[in-house]
Amino acid sequence: MTGMINAPYIHTGMNGVYLCAVRLLSVVPLITAAVIFYGIRAAVLIMFCSAAFAASDILFDRLRHSSRDSILNSLYCGALLALLLPPDTPLYIAFTGVLFACGIVRHLSGGKGSGFLSPVAMGRFIVRVLFPANEGALAMPCEGRAYIKSLVFGSEAYMTVSTDEYYTAELAVGRFPSFLGTSFFFLMLAALIYLIAKRAVKAYIPVSYFLMLFILMILRHMFSGGPDPVIFMITSGVMFTAAFLLNDDETIRPFGVPAAAQAFLCAFLTFALSFVTAGIDLIVVPVLLTGALTGMFDYSEAVLRAVKEDRLRVKP
């Protein structure tokens, strides 16, 4: 977000590096689980996206003649993007998302923290738009761990998933086809608790988002017979939004009432979209809309302030 102060939570001389290190460590359990569930292709895909994001950041920083941020941030963003991809995503599709997220969204807007759209969310959304068939490149967990052909050729059989076919216990531990890192509800919850404990995240931002969305889903279930709220919160991937996507430098204001208001807005947008879509759209589109709407408000506020100051200067 334009004008945002980076690393607003930790007041030390190592703000940026500290936050990047904590955030990167928070996704290690998700990466480990993804590799256990989906095998070699998951490990390669995650390492490729992280390395590609880091290399792209270095390249564009040099082209822009700007100072480089910690490489840990690039590795973290690349890992997040990979964790939002289906397990059988080819590397060229993953690279398209990385290049768009880093080169177009981040660096054309002025660098890290200067825009109003989350690079990770936007990169994943572009993959969704340009390669819609890839959304079905899911795989059965704990099967074919040595399978790597999908890294080049994609999936041999595209899947559609109905959570009604699984026991609640299976859903709770991620034993159903999903994106690489969005089905591990308890690991994402643990990551969020870790981030809060390390003061890398203000608790009221993810809590406001998650509780508001849960209440709205309960009301929907009571009055219109919508999906089971608990199953929805576990399987939809919204915990990924709460734990990671809402806590970047582009989407949410640093602190205070405006940050909570943005979290509520994102929850309402997620709820509204749940009537018409599912999958990755529910995870990234509300984040992008929240950033865009807030960015427009910030821009309008800045323009009005500039006009007011100009009038005061010329006033006799």
Q: Is 115 a residue whose pLDDT tops 80?
A: no
Handedness of CA 191, 196, 199, 201 (dihedral sign): positive
Q: Is 179 a residue whose pLDDT tops 90?
A: yes
- CA trace torsion 115, 16, 57, 298 (10° rounding): 0
Q: What is the mean pLDDT of residues 60-87?
A: 87
| Burial environment of residue 20 by CB neighbours within 10 A (0 to 12, 13 to 18, 19 or more) | buried
Q: What is the mean pLDDT of residues 211-228?
A: 92
Residue 163 CB: number of other CB atoms within 10 A? 18
pTM above 0.95, yes or no: no
pLDDT of amino acid 31: 97
Interatomic CA distance for residues 206 and 262, integer angstroms: 10
Q: pLDDT tens digit string along 249-277?
A: 666 665 678 888 889 999 999 999 999 99
Percent of the chain with pLDDT over 70: 83
pLDDT of amino acid 16: 73
pLDDT of amino acid 1: 41
What domains appear along the chain, each with residue ranges and CATH number? 15-314 (1.10.3430)
Q: pLDDT tens digit string along 33-69?
A: 999 999 999 999 999 999 999 999 888 888 877 766 7
